[in-house]
Amino acid sequence: MINKLLSKVILIFAITVFMIPAVRAQQPEAHHDPAKKYRLAYELFVKEKYSASREMFHEFLNEPGTAVNDKINAEYYMALGGAELYHPDAENELVRFTQKYPESLKARTAYFHAGKILYKQKKYKMAVNYFEKTDISYLTNDEVSEYYFKSGYSYFTTGDLTKASKSFHEILNVESKYKTAANYYYAHVAYQNNNLATALTAFEKLKDSESFGPVVPYYIIQIYYEQQNYDELIRYAKTLEGRTDLKNYAEIKRYVAESYYKKGQYEKALEMFEEFEKNYPRLSRDDQYQLGYCNYKLGRYEKAIGYFEKVVNVKDKLQQVAYYNLGDCFLKTKNKQSARNAFQFASKADYDKTIQEESLFNYAKLSLELSFQSVAVNALNDFTRLYPTSKYTDEVNELMAQLYITTKNYKDALVALDKIKAKSEKAKAAYQKVAYFRAIEFFNDRDYEKSISLFNKAITTEVDQKIRAQAMYWKAEAIYHQKQYEAAIKQYRIFIFNPSSINTPMYNTANYNMGYCYFNLENYPEANTWFRKYLKTKAETDPAKYNDALIRIGDGFFVLKDYDNALSYYNDAVAAGAKASDYCLFQNGIIMGIKGDMKGKANTMNQLAVKYPKSVFIDDAQYEKGNALLSQEDYKAAEDIFKKIIREQPQSEYAKKSLLKIALIQFNLKQDDQALSTYKDVVKKYPSTSEAMEALTGIKNIYVGNGNPQGYFDYIKTVSTVNVSTGAQDSITYEAAEQLYLKGDHKNASRNFEEYLKKFPNGYFELNATFYKAESDYRNKEYAKALAGYVHVTSKPRNLFTEKSLLKSGTIYLNDNKYDEAIADFNRLEEVADFRDNIIEAQSGKMRAYFKKGDFDNTITNARKLLSGDKVSNELINEAHLLHGRASLALNDLQAATTEFTAISKINSANGAEAKYSLALIQYKLGNFKESQKKCFDVINLSPSYEFWIGKSFLLLGDNYVGLKDLFQAKHTYRSVLENYEKNVTDPEDIRLQAKEKLDAIEKGENEKLQKEIEEKEKQYFGSDRDSTDSE
């Protein structure tokens, strides 16, 4: 009705267009006729002269006596005109109209026009409010179409798809300018609501649309895909070939590829995926996976690996499946190590339980095949725990049996075996073997208590009698190293009298060790018996031990005063070329002296000096030679010897003894004045020593012998260390403290020695008391107090306690990281030591101090001294090799480092594990990455109980993969460290932190490279004509 009325009005205005001058001529009349003014304003509105219309309506409203309806209509058309003119206040004018005239019919259409204004401003949520208040019965047909489209679109943009769909549906078949767009959005909403059939019908209506024709094929393709109608999708896609106007054409290609993929036609799928890849800058993870899977199914494993590797950076089901397929690809390309890593990560995800189970099985199996024994133990145990009824159970049990026999991860294997309550015979055999070798590891690390506990387990598991016998032997060795000699003797006897021990390689060595147990207990008859048993079968002896046994037997006979037999064994040792032949010669000379053959003694001591000029017994031999000459009353020759000792070795223990002997010679030659002077020299230079006390006796004898006792008393007053009147009290006080020390009551001993020193600061036993107090403090772990005592002792002239004090003070300085002070004490000890053991301690102390100080050249010098010396323990030799190797590595002398680390690389201990790791590191430094990898596995496989070095080796393994440009394996190796390594408080480095830093560095580099590739593709992709078209 309104439409027809408007048509008539337009027709009237068209007819009267030429009458405008007449109208104008009549305008003055209109100024006085409100009705005519209203009609004129309305005519201008109809002619879309909105500005003039608004002015005329405004004048009309100011006229008096206007009709109410005309006034309402005038305000309405004024507001409507403002809307058409986009006046900023148009919306408010319309709203005010509806508020002012809510009952007016035009208020219903005013809401529509207010909604249009907000729609134009894209304020869709506010527009919806006005559209919902509109009464469409008062709208024209065109306005109705406009209403439904714009309200529908507003609902669409605000997310109310149900109302949007209803609005669009109203005008789907109504001819208007909104019909096509309404169909498009209706289809779009149906698609979003998964009403695929409805969406498909609507989209097909638009395939020839100029605006939407290039867009809808993409939606049609998606719908066919969602309906799993892959054949129809492929058919329809072929009809699109050659069209250049299509939007998202590359995506259409991808759907075609996926359709072929779903149909299992991997060759065609791969062709389409690769075409899509060329034209699209950013492939999704799904795209990468499907490209990988197509290549995988077509047997193109290397290409498949490349795509699968790009999928595994996000933790989800796709990652798990990709890892699983990667594992199979790596197996097909004979890369078991990488396959193992892939199956490991697939087994950690639980999205697909079947894949998880199979992956864990494959991971365990490959771990075993690749000799990751400790990992295989854990993986197989996990598998049996998680999947007790698996189809792989029988095979897993077989693998477990094989692993327990061959594993060298004794620590973890022992834990695993302990969990088996009812052990089979195979498991028992494995348990005995694992317990034995784990005990050996503890023994090599000097943890004797733990080693004994495990040796007991190997002994009580009576499966392999040879292992049982060897466990008995090493248990005795562990007890011996604890210095429990009585208990060690009992255990050696158990070993020796065990029938299965006879065929072990250490059977005869047990006789030698028994000899040492008795020797240390000073039971020399029994010691000699066992040493001689050892010598009985020379073919079963070690040359060094054989010669040492000869010497120890000689020592036993010497102590027992069976000098003939002692000489015989010492001579046998010399004839055998024993390293301690100089000691044997010295003992021979001593025996000759005891037997009264002073000339023979002197000649033997002279022979020692000539044959072994660098012997530690040179000063001993010279002194004893002097004594022999003195006994022969060859005073001149004897005095020359003693003077030579004082001159050439003033720090030697024999310097003060030689000075005392010179005084005795002078006394024997009736040179009392000279003797008195020399005796006084001894007291002055060596106070508080036994030689000083002996010299005082000589002084007293000379004064008294000359009838001058007063002279002796006067002299005594000048000696601060002697007080005749308090001598008895001095002695008793000291003896009381000494008794406490000998009983092992070091706390009270220290207190009593301190009281003695306060009471007798220059007492007869001042030196002894200071030393034994320091020893007590040391045992009480009061190292600062102990150090003060040792320093005081070493500040005195060479004495009985000098060597021990230098050793202890040097050790305390070393433990306090005072390396210069430690080195100074160890240097002095090496110079003055009479005992070979102390020389060895000095050299080893210097080696450690120099290494900790970072002085690697001197570290090597002292390590070489130990390695070339005799009587150095195996443990210390291993340490010397280790520090020599570390120092050489620090100096980048890789050849020397290799030699040293190789020397100890076969030892199953922490040092051996470090040596193996260091050999791998050297190969890495040389760029021999594959060789370095092999050596990393040496640590992982052969030294499984040393987690720190295993962790370091996995880290180095990752570095080698980086060197080989295999970043995938490098990343997964570092991730393995992050997920499996637990930091120990004693670890010198944070391995997990290092792994994270290395992993982050690789991923950062990969991301930068990927971003660069994407940018290059985007330049190509967005430069094409097809993809530059905007969708409507």
CA distance 127 to 11: 34
CA 9 to each of CA 13, 43, 563: distance values in angstroms, whole numbers, following the listed order: 6, 8, 154
User: Which residues are CB-contacts of 490 (< 8 A; sequence separation ≥ 6)?
Assistant: none
Q: What is the DSSP track for 312-368?
A: TTS-SHHHHHHHHHHHHHHHHTT-HHHHHHHHHHHHH--SSHHHHHHHHHHHHHHHH
163 exposed, middle or buried (CB, 10 Å; 0-12, 13-18, 19+)? middle
Q: How far apart are the first and last CA of the chain?
A: 35
- Region 850-863: mean pLDDT is 95
Which residue is associated with the tokens 């601060």?
Answer: 720
- Region 637-653: mean pLDDT is 88
Contact present, 511 and 533 (Cβ < 8 Å): yes
Query: Would you state the pLDDT for residue 981?
Result: 79
pLDDT higher than 60, residue 184: yes
- Region 328-339: mean pLDDT is 94
Query: Would you state the pLDDT for residue 180?
Result: 86
For residues 228-261, one letter each, b for 16 or more C-beta atoms within 10 angstroms of the residue's C-beta and e for the rest, the string is ebbebbbebbeeeeeeeebbbbbbbbbbbbbbbb
Q: What is the DSSP track for 781-803?
A: T-HHHHHHHHHHHHHSSS-TTHH
Q: What confidence tier does 902 reach under pLDDT thresholds 50, 70, 90?
A: very high
Contact present, 254 and 237 (Cβ < 8 Å): no
Q: DSSP letter for 1031, please.
A: P
781 dihedral zone (left: phi>0; alpha: psi -120 to 50; beta): left
We report the CATH number of the domain holding residue 926 as 1.25.40
Query: Would you state the pLDDT for residue 328?
Result: 96
Contact present, 838 and 829 (Cβ < 8 Å): yes
Contact present, 446 and 483 (Cβ < 8 Å): no
pLDDT higher than 80, residue 589: yes
Q: For 654-683, how does the pLDDT look when each residue is reduced to its tens digit (9 = 90+)?
A: 888 999 999 999 999 999 999 999 999 999
Q: Which residue has the higher pLDDT, 29 or 560?
A: 560
Q: For 491-545, how does the pLDDT look when each residue is reduced to its tens digit (9 = 90+)?
A: 999 999 999 999 999 999 999 999 999 999 999 999 999 999 999 988 888 899 9
Query: Would you state the pLDDT for residue 560?
Result: 93
Q: For 68-87, how does the pLDDT look when each residue is reduced to its tens digit (9 = 90+)?
A: 777 777 777 776 777 677 77
What is the torsional sign of CA 229, 235, 238, 243? negative
Query: Would you state the pLDDT for residue 532?
Result: 95
Q: Would residue 942 count as lying in a domain?
A: yes
Query: Would you state the pLDDT for residue 511?
Result: 95
pLDDT higher than 50, residue 915: yes
Q: For 394-409, how does the pLDDT look when each residue is reduced to its tens digit (9 = 90+)?
A: 678 767 767 776 767 7
pLDDT higher than 70, residue 728: no
Q: What confidence tier does 722 reach under pLDDT thresholds 50, 70, 90?
A: low
Q: Would residue 131 count as lying in a domain?
A: no
Q: Which residue has the higher pLDDT, 781 or 406?
A: 781
Q: What confidence tier does 301 reach under pLDDT thresholds 50, 70, 90?
A: very high
Query: Would you state the pLDDT for residue 947?
Result: 83
Q: Would residue 516 count as lying in a domain?
A: no
> Number of structural domains, the chain?
1
Query: Would you state the pLDDT for residue 95?
Result: 73
**Average pLDDT of the chain, as a whole number:** 85
Query: Would you state the pLDDT for residue 1025?
Result: 43
Query: Would you state the pLDDT for residue 13?
Result: 34
pLDDT higher than 80, residue 1013: no
Compute the residue count for the chain. Answer: 1032
Q: What share of the chain is helix, strand, coil (3-state, %, to 5)?
A: 75, 0, 25
Q: Would residue 62 count as lying in a domain?
A: no
Q: What confidence tier does 1 reach under pLDDT thresholds 50, 70, 90?
A: very low
For 90-99, 379-388, 931-940, which range has the lowest pLDDT when averaged over its residues?
90-99
Q: Would residue 510 count as lying in a domain?
A: no
Phi, psi of 159 (to 5 degrees): 90, 5
Query: Would you state the pLDDT for residue 793?
Result: 93
Q: What is the DSSP track for 227-288?
A: TT-HHHHHHHHHHTTT-SS-SSHHHHHHHHHHHHHHTT-HHHHHHHHHHHHHH-S---HHHH
Q: DSSP letter for 720, please.
A: T
Interior angle at CA 410, CA 406 and CA 413, nearest 5: 80
- Region 314-318: mean pLDDT is 92
HEC string for 195-210: CHHHHHHHHHHCCCCC
pLDDT higher than 50, residue 575: yes
Query: Would you state the pLDDT for residue 54?
Result: 76
Q: Would residue 392 count as lying in a domain?
A: no
**pTM (two decimals):** 0.55
Q: For 248-279, how does the pLDDT look when each residue is reduced to its tens digit (9 = 90+)?
A: 877 888 899 999 999 999 999 999 888 888 87
Q: Would residue 275 count as lying in a domain?
A: no
Q: What confidence tier does 480 reach under pLDDT thresholds 50, 70, 90?
A: very high
Q: Would residue 621 count as lying in a domain?
A: no
For 149-153, 328-332, 422-426, 434-438, which range has the lowest pLDDT when averaged over its residues?
422-426
Interior angle at CA 238, CA 232 and CA 240, nearest 5: 110
Query: Would you state the pLDDT for residue 15?
Result: 31
Q: How many CA atoms lie within 13 A of 724 on its CB side?
A: 10
Range of the domain at 970: 912-989
